[in-house]
Amino acid sequence: MTLIEINVTFDFVCAWCYIGKRTLDRAISLYRKTYPGGRNDTITITWRPYYLNYNPHGHSVPKADLIDERLHDQTPDQRTALVNRMNKIGQSVGIYFKGGGMIGPHTRDAHRLVYLTRGSSSPETQGGLVEKILEAYHEREMDISDPAVLKEVAEMAGVEGKVLELWLAGGQSGGGDEVDEEARRNKEMMMMQMEGKRGVPRFVIQGEYEWDGQDVYEFMEIMGKVKEKED
């Protein structure tokens, strides 16, 4: 049996992060079904925060307005091509992106919630929480900066009541300082390693191998290398 550690640096408003999460789930499922001994391996995933600061306005605004602002320099044809490409790739992993709803000024509270589930909830619960928040924003057109929305999503994912209490209380035990510091380090590290040319998602396997979050067969190749080293 091999212990495999996967670190994912991401932000919830990132469409590629949602696609990457779905692709990771599929890749792990394929690995367990097809790789010799893969079914018995322990795979841990740690979801690490990154702040894209997608909304500069300081309050919730319509997602469609923000998209218009960010794509203002593109021609209608370029914009249509971009949207069609994203929708096509999303649908290939079961995601149906929607452009409505609101987007808040930050994703800090959502990342705090995920952070507080580390070690206190099962890996399945934490992964389910990440999935539900991504789904809420990208498909259900919900404002994931709204505490009521996050509480509803957390309850759907099976997050324990004591974790929700800590999260709602905030303060020193609410994970805010820790998440801010981790997000800052992640951004600094990514800027240094990628020379500012690439953002999230970032998948690092066994602290050594980096995966793009798209090619399932590349993932299988990396896992094979990990198995050879660890076994």
* pLDDT higher at 17 or 191: 17
Residue 209 predicted with pLDDT over 90: yes
Q: How confident is the model at residue 229 (pLDDT cuts 50, 70, 90)?
A: confident
- Tell me the pLDDT tens digit for each residue of 109-136: 999 999 999 977 888 999 999 999 999 9
Residue 88 CA to residue 29 CA, distance in Å, equals 22
What's the pLDDT at 230?
75
Residue 196 predicted with pLDDT over 70: no
Q: How confident is the model at residue 3 (pLDDT cuts 50, 70, 90)?
A: very high
190: number of Cβ within 10 Å: 18
Residue 201 CA to residue 93 CA, distance in Å, equals 16
What's the pLDDT at 195?
58
Angle of helix 216-230 relative to helix 15-34, nearest 10 degrees? 50
pTM for this model (two decimals): 0.93
Show the CA angle centred on residue 117, arms to residues 52 and 141, nearest 5°: 45
- Tell me the pLDDT tens digit for each residue of 69-109: 989 899 999 999 999 999 999 999 999 999 999 999 999 99
What integer best gives the mean pLDDT of the chain?
Answer: 92
Q: Mapping DSSP to helix (H, G, I), strand (E, B) and coil, where does residue 203 land?
A: strand
Decide: 113 and 159 in contact? Cβ < 8 Å.
yes
State residue 173 phi and psi, 5-degree precision. -95, 0
Decide: 125 and 161 in contact? Cβ < 8 Å.
no
Residue 193 predicted with pLDDT over 90: no
3-230 classified as CATH 3.40.30.10: yes
DSSP string, 174-200: TTHHHHHHHHHHHHHHHHHHHTTS--S
